[in-house]
Amino acid sequence: MSNDDTFKAPSSNLRRTNRSLPIALLRARETVMGPVREMLSGSSVNEQKWRVLRVLEEGGAQDQNTIAQRACLLLPSLTRILSAMEAEGLISRRADAADRRRSIVQIEATGLTILKDHAKEAAGLVIDLRKRYGDEKFEQLLDMLEDLQQVDGAD
Amino acid sequence: MSNDDTFKAPSSNLRRTNRSLPIALLRARETVMGPVREMLSGSSVNEQKWRVLRVLEEGGAQDQNTIAQRACLLLPSLTRILSAMEAEGLISRRADAADRRRSIVQIEATGLTILKDHAKEAAGLVIDLRKRYGDEKFEQLLDMLEDLQQVDGAD
DNA sequence: GCATAATACTTGCTTTGTTAAGCAAAAATA
DNA sequence: TATTTTTGCTTAACAAAGCAAGTATTATGC
């Protein structure tokens, strides 16, 4: 599987990709997301819609800017995703009475059902990961990632 | 900004999204990638091509499955990216003599040049981040992310 | 040896990401 | 009050991601 027939040693002094924070974050996410994607493949929602549902459940009815920020989606993407979710009956939108530019999004029964249907399995995945990775370490990693967001930075 | 007019408390016992590892990893990555994207915007390669170049430099000539895995790209995406990079002379492909299904990808001089041209700036970004986030913490985070990849898991 | 499966991509199609432009409703300013 | 600016979203356009199906080559089981 490994390959070193025409191997040449790195010549530009860049960090090993394991030690590149953007790449490490990406790889870690792929690892963690694997089982989640598997779980969602048996449902009617994809990763993004799942995030939107969770944000809505967590924060209650809220406007699109807020959802976009919390679910890590850009507004144009969110607009399309919400249109689809509205058509599927997962959420509803209503204009804000006080500010008619704003539309308030609310999760509907169908959306809540999807969350509930997978909540147990999702929780199981977390428990499993914490067990293998270590409870304390898991929390520490989350803390460190939260701290990182206060900073900026790169590679 | 915050909104609680029609607020309903979470009803399915899912983790708060702040404490969801996939979402935290996504948010952290967005934060870290900002300056990198800025750096790459002044070059002929995007984020994906940059990753491919780094993986090739680090691991030498290798097949597409290996590259896809290391650079966190799906094979269909990689196929297209490599076609473009080949046309630009950044890499070359040759059929594996022993297994003609497989094609071996190698970085070319033009590709190495791009890496070298940005290595200094990339290193600067890392130094800057380490300074603000803390040297020790930075290394610890990388360790923890590396460990995570050995595990599996989810949320 | 031959049919079957598995592997390593490749191609096609839909959804999402990304950037820029557009539009209507507030807010701020004159 | 009239004009400009800002805000909150939508639309458009194109690259990239993600999923499914297709092709060629190698490995496996009878």
Q: Touching check for A61 and chain B: CB below 8 Å? A: yes
In whole angstroms, C1 C1' to A6 CA is 37
Q: Touching check for B152 and chain A: CB below 8 Å? A: yes
What pLDDT is stored for residue A144 in this prediction?
Answer: 95
Q: Touching check for A21 and chain B: CB below 8 Å? A: yes
3-state SS class at B105? strand
CA B55 to chain centroid: 10
What pLDDT is stored for residue B104 in this prediction?
Answer: 97
pTM of the complete model: 0.86
pLDDT tens, N- to C-terminus, chain A (155 residues): 344 444 556 667 788 898 899 999 999 999 899 899 989 988 889 999 999 999 999 999 999 999 999 999 999 999 999 999 999 999 999 999 999 999 999 999 999 999 999 999 999 999 999 999 999 999 999 999 999 987 753 34
In whole angstroms, D17 C1' to B77 CA is 7
What is chain B's mean pLDDT, rounded? Answer: 87
What pLDDT is stored for residue B5 in this prediction?
Answer: 39
Say yes or no for a CB contact (<8 Å) between A119 and B13. yes
Name residues whose C-beta falls within 8 Å of residue A81's C-beta, 6 or more positions apart in sequence.
A48, A49, A52, A73
Tell me phi and psi for residue A8, to 5 degrees.
-130, 135
Region B34-40: what's the mean pLDDT? 86
Q: Touching check for B46 and chain A: CB below 8 Å? A: no
What pLDDT is stored for residue B3 in this prediction?
Answer: 38
What pLDDT is stored for residue B149 in this prediction?
Answer: 86
What pLDDT is stored for residue B42 in this prediction?
Answer: 78
Nearest CA to B50 out of B66, B36, B35, B64 is that of: B36
Could you say which DSSP state residue B19 is in? G
Q: Chain B: residue nearest A115 by CA? A: B12
E strand intervals along B12-117: 62-63, 91-95, 103-107
Give dist(CA B135, CA A9) in Å, integer.
26
Region B113-141: what's the mean pLDDT? 93
Chain A positions touching B125 (Cβ under 8 A) are 153-155
Nucleic strand C within 7 A of Cβ B99: yes
pLDDT digits (tens, 9 = 90+) for B43-65: 889 999 999 999 999 999 999 99
In whole angstroms, D9 C1' to A125 CA is 36
What pLDDT is stored for residue B140 in this prediction?
Answer: 97
Could you say which DSSP state residue B17 is in? G
Give dist(CA B83, CA B47) in Å, integer.
16
